Amino acid sequence: MKSFLDTSSTQNADNALQLRCGRHLLDLSFPRVMGILNVTPDSFSDGGRHVALDDALRHAERMLAEGAAIIDVGGESTRPGAAPVSPQEELDRVAPVVEALVRELDALVSVDTSCPVVMREASELGAGMINDVRALERDGALQAAAGSGLPVCLMHRKGEPQDMQQAPAYSRPIEEEVAEYLAGRIADCEAAGLRRHRLLIDPGFGFGKSVEHNLRLLKYLQSLHALELPILVGMSRKSMIGKVLARPVEERLPGGLALAAMAVERGASILRVHDVAATVDAVNMAWAVLQEGCELPLNQEQDA
């Protein structure tokens, strides 16, 4: 599957840009918003407020009402400096939330994990997507993801969260290194029986990148279209905004909306964000420009 920017479409109207996510069908013929639901006690901008199941449910419900197509549930913080968690701890955090989101809200749940056990359990509980910031590099992750039958987002990263922001360096233009890494991971996935049409790619903003690296990656996001897979981006509230604008984490929304609009123009299919309502408006406005119009108020549209 390609992105909506590709007009030389080999896909006909029936199978056009529809991604099978378990029992959900995700329409990627226009850019979609993924709402972040952190279930970590140390999350960088939620301060662990969404650990309790009830809070998590209400927050997800609100994001869905605001137009999120996907809820991304994560039990391991991967922001710079974060410490690793055990698979059991991660499972204990994530499983009850995935189960509740599926049962109570019938939500399309993505599970933000690198852990094979969590992938397997989440897919059994009804999750519809796997989002792995380590691009299935952990032992057993390729097999677990392949066996789940779910789509997988492969993200580029350099180093591990504990040390990835210590003098990140690239010997070639960063977009080339990122594309080459992702191409290698795609090949490994295919070799493990994970078919291409189930994959998404993500350049991994903030994962072993300087501010300049991040800005350049967005500027040249188009170059990732060579891989012919839908692109997911996560820039919401990140330090790339904080550093450019000198804003603390709670004042980064305007900067984030500018980045979201630019990502849409460059063909990003999914935007992973904290502030769903504002981002849906920014994305839909940018999309209307690309379309030179709009057929319906996009923010009232719901998935079938």
Catalytic annotation, residues: 238, 272
Give the nearest residue (CB) to ligand PT1: 234
Secondary structure element (H or E) that encloses residue 103, with its range: helix 87-105
Choose, by CB under 6 A, the member of 46, 99, 121, 202 that binds ligand PT1: 202
Provide the token pair at 232.
Answer: 């997911």
Q: Which stretch binds ligand PT1 (CB under 6 A): 101-109, 181-189, 215-223, 233-241?
A: 233-241
Q: Which stretch binds ligand PT1 (CB under 6 A): 75-83, 179-187, 218-226, 291-299?
A: 75-83
Regarding 125 and contact with ligand PT1 (CB under 6 A), the answer is: no
Q: How many CB atoms lie within 10 A of CB 296?
A: 7
Choose, by CB under 6 A, the member of 232, 253, 268, 283 that binds ligand PT1: 232
Choose, by CB under 6 A, the member of 112, 121, 175, 275 that binds ligand PT1: 112
Q: Which is nearer to ligand PT1, 253 or 298 (CB)?
A: 253
Regarding 4 and contact with ligand PT1 (CB under 6 A), the answer is: no
Regarding 2 and contact with ligand PT1 (CB under 6 A), the answer is: no
Choose, by CB under 6 A, the member of 4, 30, 181, 205 that binds ligand PT1: 205
Q: Extract the runs of DSSP E, i.e. beta strands, from the chain.
A: 18-21, 24-27, 32-38, 70-74, 109-112, 129-132, 152-155, 199-202, 232-234, 270-273
Geometric angle at alpha carbon 283, from 9 and 50, rounded to 5°: 120
Q: Which is nearer to ligand PT1, 44 or 298 (CB)?
A: 44
Give CA–CA dist 95/114, Å, rounded: 14
Give CA–CA dist 13/94, Å, rounded: 37
Q: Which is nearer to ligand PT1, 261 or 298 (CB)?
A: 261
Regarding 128 and contact with ligand PT1 (CB under 6 A), the answer is: no
Backbone angle region of 245, left / alpha / beta, with phi > 0 → left and psi within -120 to 50 → alpha: alpha
Give CA–CA dist 242/187, Å, rounded: 35
Q: Which is nearer to ligand PT1, 44 or 181 (CB)?
A: 44
